[in-house]
Amino acid sequence: MLRIECVLGSRVEPELSEQLHRLEHRGAVDIVTIPVVDLARRRLLITTSGGEELAIALPRHQKLFDGAVLLLEKERAIVVRAATERWLRLEPRSLSDAIELGYQAGNLHWRVRFEGGVLLVALEGRPEDYLARLEGLIESGRVGAGVIEQAVDHEAAPFAEHGHPHSRPPGHGH
């Protein structure tokens, strides 16, 4: 079992990208697909697509992310790929509903993204638990809700920087 004790960087960083590109041409880049909900974990036992078992034990200041380079040697590399992610789709009916929904999501420190007038909340647990927190808004019809599954588009953006440790201040979830 290979022990991984740090993230070397992102596959899009120029100095790593060149080396990975050369290894990819030789079929020497192994992928470890990690469920999005597990990207926040610092300790993880998992197997790569090539069958290698990994024991990941990261320091507190590091997190896994889509495109994280875990191993980079002369003859091989291991890179993280985020798996399908589930989202709670919330559509407020008015501006005041949107403000209240935004307040609630922020107060709960939910990981969100926006698509026009729709708020998408990353599901890191049971959808029912999230819906219960917004019960008043949803039952009154002020906010429409549904669950969608969305694969990370590895073709368009092979390793997007979702959750990259430098994308927001350390330890700050919103």
pLDDT tens by residue, 56-83 = 999 999 999 989 999 999 999 999 998 8
What is the C-alpha to C-alpha distance for residues 37 and 43, in angstroms, rounded to an integer? 13
Give the sheet arrangement for strand 68-72, strand by strand: 9-10, 68-72, 77-82, 29-34
Total length of the chain:
174
State yes or no: pLDDT of 169 exceeds 80: no
Q: What is the pLDDT of residue 149?
A: 81
Query: Which position has the token pair 């590091």?
Result: 62
* Between 43 and 159, residue with greater pLDDT: 43
State yes or no: pLDDT of 165 exceeds 50: no
Task: DSSP for 114-167, please give it.
Answer: EETTEEEEE-SS-HHHHHHHTHHHHHTTSEEEEEEEE---TTTSTT--TT-TTS
Q: What is the pLDDT of residue 152?
A: 55
Q: Is the dihedral of CA 59, 60, 63, 64 positive or negative?
A: positive
- Best CA proximity match to 69, nearest among 146, 167, 158: 158
> Tens digits of per-residue pLDDT, 2-20?
999 999 999 999 889 999 9
Three-state secondary structure call for residue 98: helix
Q: What is the pLDDT of residue 82?
A: 87
